[in-house]
């Protein structure tokens, strides 16, 4: 698993294609959404969590679309499948690589969000970052599985969001709810069910992905 992860990081450090795409799309999404709301309006604060998660998800879909493109060149995916490792391990390595790329993008996206939406810097931002991390793990778990399926189709750029986005709606809603509570630094007590939903989503889709990846990559 570490060999695979190392290889994905090595290619990314050399090409910087995935991270630069994630940064750019996240920034553009936030920029456009920040202009949609009057800076003096309360609505801006209400909409801020949704805007942040839209940027996270859009950038994430782009990153996932790219994750198996490197494996398509020279049919490298077949080379991977020829290796004497469990195919579930290949899936887990890809999930971790996608998760790390998406999380790295948040290091830029979250501060830009704070700036564009006039969010007061507080400890709540650490909670927001952790919430995004929990959300991205589940997003990466289900997205990696669908990216492996979509990369073999002709309309892969369209296919991935079509398959993925309806499934991650619960994760998205839970993320927006928890972020909306964290930004004004309110108590988290009544957010527990949303957090449980996010963690449960992560666990379920990691297990499902690990079990079915073998069939997803087979013709």
Partner 1 sequence: MADPVIGACGLTRRFGNVAALDALDLAVGPGEAVALFGPNGAGKTTLLRLLATLLRPTAGELRLFGRAVADEGAAVRHRIGLLSHHSFLYPDLTPTENLDFYARMFGTPGRAARVREVLDRVGLVGWAHRPVRTLSRGLEQRCALARALLHEPELLLLDEPFTGLDVDAAGMLSDLLRQAHAGGTTLLLVTHDLWRGFELCTRAVVLVRGRLVRDAPIGESTRDEFERTYVGALHAGGSSGPATGG
CA distances from residue 173 to 138, 170, 180 in whole angstroms, order as listed: 13, 5, 10
For residues 177 and 157, what is the distance between their CA atoms, to the nearest angstrom? 29
For residues 56 and 175, what is the distance between their CA atoms, to the nearest angstrom? 10
Q: How far is the CB of 85 from partner 1 (least distance, A)?
A: 6
Per-residue tokens: 194:
């949303």
- By CB under 8 A, which span of 2-10, 99-107, 139-147, 174-182 interacts with partner 1? 2-10
Element spanning 64, H or E: helix 42-67
Q: How far is the CB of 26 from partner 1 (least distance, A)?
A: 24
The interface with partner 1 within residues 159-218 (CB under 8 A) comprises 218
Q: How far is the CB of 164 from partner 1 (least distance, A)?
A: 25
User: 87 or 177: whose CB is closer to partner 1?
Assistant: 87
Binding of residue 153 to partner 1 (CB under 8 A): no
- By CB under 8 A, which span of 3-11, 34-42, 163-171, 200-208 interacts with partner 1? 3-11
User: 11 or 103: whose CB is closer to partner 1?
Assistant: 11
Question: Which of 45, 17, 22, 68 is CA-nearest to residue 179?
Answer: 45
CA atoms within 13 A on the CB side of 151: 26
For residues 106 and 114, what is the distance between their CA atoms, to the nearest angstrom? 12
Q: How far is the CB of 15 from partner 1 (least distance, A)?
A: 6
Binding of residue 219 to partner 1 (CB under 8 A): yes
The interface with partner 1 within residues 63-102 (CB under 8 A) comprises 70, 73-76, 78-86
Per-residue tokens: 21:
């795409």
Given a contact cutoff of 8 angstroms between Cβ atoms, the answer to whether 77 and 19 are in contact is no
Binding of residue 7 to partner 1 (CB under 8 A): yes
Binding of residue 4 to partner 1 (CB under 8 A): yes
User: 16 or 196: whose CB is closer to partner 1?
Assistant: 16
Binding of residue 10 to partner 1 (CB under 8 A): yes
Q: Give the count of beta carbons closer than 10 Å to the beta carbon of residue 180.
A: 21
For residues 46 and 206, what is the distance between their CA atoms, to the nearest angstrom? 32
Q: How far is the CB of 89 from partner 1 (least distance, A)?
A: 10
Residues at the contact surface with partner 1, assessed by CB under 8 A: 3-4, 6-7, 10-11, 14-15, 70, 73-76, 78-86, 218-219
């Amino acid at each position: 698993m570490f060999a695979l992860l190392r290889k994905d990081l090595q290619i990314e450090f050399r090409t910087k294609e995935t991270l630069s795409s994630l940064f750019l799309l996240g920034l553009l999404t936030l920029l456009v959404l920040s202009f949609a709301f009057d800076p003096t309006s309360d609505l801006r604060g209400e909409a801020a969590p949704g805007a942040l998660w839209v940027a996270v998800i859009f950038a994430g879909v782009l990153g996932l679309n790219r994750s198996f493109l490197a494996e398509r060149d020279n049919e490298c995916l077949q080379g991977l499948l020829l290796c004497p490792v469990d195919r579930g391990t290949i899936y887990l390595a890809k999930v971790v690589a996608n998760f790390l790329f998406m999380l790295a993008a948040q290091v830029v996206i979250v501060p830009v969000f704070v700036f564009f939406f006039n969010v007061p810097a507080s400890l709540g931002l650490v909670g927001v970052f952790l919430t995004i991390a929990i959300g991205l793990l589940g997003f990466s778990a289900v997205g990696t599985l669908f990216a492996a399926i979509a990369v073999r189709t002709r309309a892969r750029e369209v296919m991935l969001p079509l398959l993925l986005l309806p499934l991650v709606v619960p994760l998205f809603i839970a993320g927006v709810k928890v972020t909306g509570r964290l930004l004004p630094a309110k108590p988290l007590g009544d957010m527990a069910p949303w957090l449980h939903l996010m963690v449960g989503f992560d666990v379920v889709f990691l297990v499902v992905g690990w079990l079915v990846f073998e069939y997803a990559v087979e013709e």
